[in-house]
Each structure stands twice: as C-alpha cells, then as structure tokens.
C-alpha cells in the first residue's frame, strides 16, 4: 500500500494518520504538497480524479480516496481496537456522530476556509461576505457539541472512536482558520484536552 498524505494543517489526511496510529498501523506514505498544487497534477488526478488528499493505493492498483473510506478499509483489515464500533448499537451511535460532525461543523468551517483565508486567496469564486457569515454557524456547532459532551467522556460514549477523530481534526482546523472554540465551551474544551493528550493526536 501507499498512502498519499499531506502535512498539517490539512485535516483529512490527519484523520487517517491518527486512525492508523491508534491501530498501530505503519502506512508507507508519499507526501503530496497542497501549496505546490501537487494534488492537482495529472499524475495524481489519474489516481484520484477529485484532486484531493488523502488517497490510499493498494498493491493491486485499487485507489481508495476519502478519509473515512480509507479508515473503514483499515478497520476491516485491523479490527482491534474497534474505532467504528463492534456491536450494532455502537456502530450506529458512532456513525450518527460521524455524520453530525460532517453535516453540522464541517460545512461552515470549509466555507470560512475557502472564502476568507489568505491561503485560499487565489481560488476563483471567493465570496468573503459569505465566508464571514459562516463564523456564527461554527459557534453554534461548537455549542451543540459542547452540550453533547457534558455527560460523556468521548463523543460517541465511553470509548474513543472515529467520531472523536473527526471532531478533533475539525476543531483543530477551525482553530487554525481563526474560529476555534473558547472558554464558553467548557465540556468541549475538556474533551479536546483529553483527546489531544493521546499519543495518536500528534500524528
């Protein structure tokens, strides 16, 4: 296998690195520079037509893109520890929280990133007013996750899971673009301190 990776602050490749670290999986990797536009080069888009990282190329030439899909593949190969759940209830609850991170928090974070950040200034179709209008949506999402974590050590219950990886990488990227949580999100900040202390968070 060959993992096409991009360094921080790119959140999606980091998801896979954290997941692999939690599993104790060593992934042979090749760095793809986003600032250098290597993810849009023909040799890379031939593997992943969306021109995004990460991607995982298998020995038979199959390419799996999208970070959660890569993690599901790795979970199937290495089921322990189970990060997508083991029982039907665990699987359903973790998937529910995965989707909530993807549907509630990630869209406004992406809008602020694409439409306001200096690193994306050259992208066509930017609308700074639209981007700025999404900052309150990020704050609302943080409030939702803060309430959800008031009585739970981890996002999907009492075990660290893929849901925590998704939320951690998205919160950290939101902080990078200047829209991180604050002291008013006490439960979220407590959770963030806990999961950030795990060795895998340094991946």
Tell whether 192 and 95 lie within a shared domain: yes
Tell whether 174 and 195 lie within a shared domain: yes
What percent of the chain has pLDDT above 90? 95
Tell whether 54 and 143 lie within a shared domain: no
The candidate with the shortest Cα–Cα distance to 65, out of 121, 136, 15, 8, is: 15
> In terms of residue numbers, what domain contains 174?
88-202
Tell whether 191 and 119 lie within a shared domain: yes
pLDDT tens, position by position, 90-102: 999 999 999 999 9
Tell whether 198 and 145 lie within a shared domain: yes
The answer on pLDDT for 9 being more than 90 is yes
Instruction: Kindly state whether residue 82 falls inside one of the protein's structural domains.
Output: no
Tell whether 95 and 186 lie within a shared domain: yes
Tell whether 60 and 92 lie within a shared domain: no
The candidate with the shortest Cα–Cα distance to 196, out of 163, 174, 172, 178, is: 172
Tell whether 16 and 114 lie within a shared domain: no
Instruction: Give the H/E segment covering residue 30.
Output: strand 29-31
Is residue 125 helix, strand or coil?
coil
The answer on pLDDT for 108 being more than 90 is yes
Is residue 64 helix, strand or coil?
strand
- Per-residue DSSP letters for 70-108? HHHHHHHH--SS-SS-SSHHHHHHHHHHHHHIIIIIHHH
Instruction: Kindly state whether residue 193 falls inside one of the protein's structural domains.
Output: yes
From CA 84, how far away is CA 73, in angstroms rounded? 11
Tell whether 93 and 53 lie within a shared domain: no
The pTM of this model reads 0.96
pLDDT tens, position by position, 133-192: 999 999 999 999 999 999 999 999 999 999 999 999 999 999 999 999 999 999 999 999
How many structural domains does the chain have? 2
Dihedral sign computed on CA atoms, order 58, 62, 66, 68: negative
Tell whether 180 and 109 lie within a shared domain: yes
């Amino acid at each position: 296998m060959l993992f096409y990776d991009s360094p921080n602050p790119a959140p999606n490749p980091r998801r896979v690195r954290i997941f692999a670290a939690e599993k104790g999986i060593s992934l042979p990797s090749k760095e793809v520079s986003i600032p250098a536009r290597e993810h849009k080069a023909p040799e890379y888009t031939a593997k992943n037509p969306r021109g995004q990282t990460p991607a995982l190329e298998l020995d038979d030439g199959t390419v799996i893109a999208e970070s959660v899909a890569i993690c599901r593949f790795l979970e199937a190969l290495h089921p322990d520890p189970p990060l997508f759940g083991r029982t039907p209830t665990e699987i359903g609850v973790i998937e529910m929280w995965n989707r909530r991170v993807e549907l509630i928090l990630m869209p406004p974070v992406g809008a602020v990133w694409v439409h306001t950040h200096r690193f994306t200034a050259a992208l066509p179709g930017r609308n700074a007013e639209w981007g700025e209008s999404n900052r309150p949506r990020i704050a609302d999402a943080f409030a939702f996750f803060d309430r959800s974590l008031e009585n739970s050590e981890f996002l999907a219950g009492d075990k660290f899971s893929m849901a925590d990886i998704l939320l951690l990488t998205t919160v950290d990227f939101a902080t990078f673009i200047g829209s991180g949580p604050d002291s008013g999100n006490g439960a979220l900040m407590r959770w963030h301190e806990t999961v950030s202390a795990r060795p895998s968070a340094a991946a």
